[in-house]
Amino acid sequence: MMEKSLSETEQDYAEKMRDLEENLKVVRENIEEAAVKSGRSASEITLLAATKTVAVPVINRAVELGVTHIGENRVQELCDKLPSLAPCDRQFIGHLQSNKIKFLIGQVSLIQSVDNEKLAKEISRLSVTNGTVTNVLVEVNVGHEENKSGIVPEQLEELMVNISSLPGVLVRGLMAIPPVCENPEDSMPYFSRMQQYYVDIKAKRMDNIHMDFLSMGMSSDYAQAILCGANMVRVGSALFGPRKYQIL
Ligand SMILES: *Cc1c(COP(=O)(O)O)cnc(C)c1O
């Protein structure tokens, strides 16, 4: 791998800082427009900035500009950033391995990526040990994609029932990353399906299962997600510019 010269890095950085304010304005306008179209107000939609690979000063500038929620994908990266992050709501949105859970307990307000009972059980166990309850979203593999995280829709209810009895975990909603589509409109059937699962599970009124958040929509399709009922969108590159590499 080639070493980057410092000046190049600094240039990148200054550019990101400059663009951020305008990017945020555009994203907020789009959120507002989609919210109104779906019969809601922008205040009902949580904008979560997806901050993987973004340097802390840039994240803190986003917080200064009014971003209230951030989500990180990697436990190590999150832990490295935590001590210097401005006050904001920190969440975990990446794939989570059991042996890393301990670093998240008490450090994040929400783990968005629970997709199996074993993981939920371990989060519960460590939460109880720490005298806390951890809020989670259940991630759904809405497109039935192989090699993708998330519980398949057919097994969603069973997983909910099993998590429902765990003392250290509170389910707060659902999260999904639909298949990559050429046009953002093509994602809408997936988003609508998620909205249906969200409503169906809510109607069952299970213990410890609260449907407060439907987290779906990223830079390319957050407006479409909101039109289909999302109340949390996770936006990275539309705020911070393209990433040099991809972590999902
Ligand atoms: C990176 C990431 C996002 C944001 O992706 P963009 O396309 O940059 O907006 C959202 N959700 C998850 C889980 C991510 O990993």
11-27 pLDDT tens trace: 777 777 889 999 999 99
Q: How far is the CA of 205 from the centre of ligand 1 (A)?
A: 30
- Which atom in ligand 1 lies closest to the alpha carbon of residue 175? 13
**Cβ–ligand 1 contact at 50 (below 6 Å):** yes
| Tokens 């809601």, located at residue | 40
On the CB side of 115, how many CA atoms lie within 13 Å of its CA? 21
What are the residue ranges spanned by the domains of the chain? 2-238
Q: What CA dihedral angle connects 17, 52, 224 and 171, to 10 degrees?
A: -130
Q: How confident is the model at residue 124 (pLDDT cuts 50, 70, 90)?
A: very high
List, in sequence order, every residue forming a beta bridge with 136; answer none if it has no partner: 111, 171
Name the more confident of 167 and 8: 167
Mean pLDDT, all residues of the chain: 94
137-160 pLDDT tens trace: 999 999 999 989 999 999 999 999
DSSP category for residue 58: H
- Which atom in ligand 1 lies closest to the alpha carbon of residue 220? 7
pLDDT of residue 244: 73
Sign of CA dihedral 43, 153, 123, 53: negative
**Cβ–ligand 1 contact at 168 (below 6 Å):** no
User: Which of 96, 203, 91, 192 is CA-nearest to residue 143?
Assistant: 192
Average pLDDT estimate for 32-43: 98
Q: Whose CA is nearest to atom 10 of ligand 1?
A: 234
**Cβ–ligand 1 contact at 51 (below 6 Å):** no
90 near 72, Cβ under 8 Å?
Answer: yes
pLDDT of residue 7: 66
Backbone conformation region of residue 229, classed left if phi is above 0, alpha if psi is from -120 to 50, else beta: left
| Tokens 């973004």, located at residue | 54
153 near 164, Cβ under 8 Å?
Answer: no
Best residue for ligand 1 mutational test, from 218, 243, 244 (most atoms within 8 Å of Cβ)? 218
Q: Whose CA is nearest to atom 6 of ligand 1?
A: 236
CA 225 to CA 111: how far, in whole Å? 20
**Cβ–ligand 1 contact at 219 (below 6 Å):** yes
> Which CATH number is 2-238's, of 3.40.1350.10, 3.20.20.10, 3.40.640.10, 3.90.79.10?
3.20.20.10
